[in-house]
Amino acid sequence: MKPRASGVLAHVSSMPSRFGIGDFGPGAYRFVDFLVRARQSLWQILPLTPTSPTFGNSPYSSISAFAGNPLFISPELLQEDGLLAEKDFSDCPKFPDRRVDFAAVSTCKDVLLGKAFETFRRKCAGNRSYALFCKRNAAWLDDYALFIAIRNELGGRVWNKWPEGLRDRDRNALAAARRKYRREIDRQKFLQFVFHSQWSRLKKYCNDRSIRVIGDLPIYVSFDSADVWVNPRVFKLDGKKRPLCVAGVPPDYFSSTGQLWGNPVYDWAHLKKSRFSWWLERMERNLQIADFVRIDHFRGLVAYWEVPAGRKNAVKGRWTKVPARAFLSVLTKRFPRLPVIAEDLGFITDDVREIIRLFNLPGMRVLQFAFSKGGPDPVHMPHNVPINCVVYTGTHDNNTTRGWYEHELGRKARRRVDAYLGRKVSSRNISRELMRLAMGTVARMVIIPIQDVIGAGTEARMNRPSVAEGNWAWRFTMQDINREAGKDLKDLTVIYGRD
């Protein structure tokens, strides 16, 4: 990595596309071209794993920690590959440009991807690339495809409610299911093959233009996932394979009752005995997808907030230690120069800071936190930012900078912003002013959310923590990333030596 670099946070789902959700097609390539024109060298994304309306379409709650989201497959690229024709698009509705209608998108894409699969079966039997992909990824792909096939057949029932033989992975029951659901298993493998092929092509396009991709790894996985079904020993479950405890965080900036995520927590004693093999496989998969990996809620790899299952909020939990030094030592041995960014926001204790320092991992600083309504936070102040960190104006969990300034700051906090900058600012230019502050820090990396690059307001917010509905749906258009937005970003990048 260059001594000083900058980039943009923009999730794939937010990209322009005629099919109602951003994908790996032409809109994503035009966005990369925008990054090139603006002299950026980093593109940060959110997790690319499958999403579900059951989990509010959150990319941080998935049925697999290894699989890719079929919604990101581009029908236009399938057309280029001869698997779809223009006539196949005739029944697609006209989707809104600014929001994702997940239900409508899922219905449309399911039909299109089904047609592409049938064409692939007819025309591409014995495809060597497909066979090689299935062979190389068999360790997770075979079980994932079977999991989805069974789950679909049983109407989406949670896996620990399946017939006992399937729930407990009896060898004979699994063999019978593989025979019975062979067609659906093949369809799921095809979708993962296409996802992998299209994303690999797009990532190469980035890398060939000196743009590195920063991926995002949620620390936990969903209980209703292939991962827990296949690896129940990795998690703290009872005799009926129900979670004993679930993950969350105590009360913080985002919520007075904490956040009760509900994910099963890891059995770190078992993981340590296995030399953390499941985590090593997961990290390897993520480093196939991205050049760097941001580990969300990194502090949970040192000590995590454990809440007894059944509680209504996260207030009455406890901190539980993790063998962090042993785990990260194994990880570093497997992946020298560990390309990890530690999300160290929220309640961070000395033991977490020590682990981050010991393994020389870049942490995060968020400028909105520096000027928050409750008073300045010295940790996030621009003049206190260390070199080895990533500076953001805000994250996917924050309001946009303009929305934050307009709706979350009081007069006193706004005056502090004016005093720090040495001039009066307004909602019209606050996004650019915080971009300038970020670019001017000594931090090696700066990431600006696309919403702040284009100066968008609250309507463009990606996520509201602890709010279950209405998140993850915002999209931008090609008109948003126009010449003016690109010039502003480029000028600041060049001025502060990050080009």
Catalytic residue among 23, 216, 227, 296: 296
With CA atoms as reference, report the closest residue to 50 among 59, 41, 42.
Answer: 59
Give the three-class secondary structure for 125: coil
Q: Has 170 been annotated as catalytic?
A: no
Which residue, 430, 439, 391, is CA-closest to 407?
A: 430
Total Cβ atoms within 10 A of residue 459 = 12
Q: How far, in Å, CA of 393 to CA of 336, rounded?
A: 30
Q: Is 296 a catalytic residue?
A: yes
Main-chain dihedrals φ then ψ at residue 263, nearest 5 degrees: -70, 145
The residue with tokens 């509680």 is 311
316 class by beta-carbon count within 10 Å (0-12 exposed, 13-18 middle, 19+ buried) = exposed
- Tell me how many degrees the CA angle 439-422-395 measures, rounded to the nearest 5: 40
Compute the distance between CA of residue 111 and CA of residue 455 in angstroms, rounded to an integer. Answer: 37
Please identify which of the residues 343, 344, 433, 452 carries the catalytic annotation: 343
Neighbouring C-alpha atoms within 13 Å toward the C-beta of 53 = 9
Residue of 146, 154, 73, 157 whose CA lies nearest to 115: 73
User: Is 408 among the residues known to form the active site?
Assistant: no
**Closest Cα to residue 65, out of 160, 152, 143?**
143
Catalytic residue among 267, 351, 397, 499: 397
Q: What is d(CA 330, CA 359) in angstroms, rounded to the nearest whole number?
A: 12
Q: Provide the annotated active-site residues.
A: 296, 343, 397
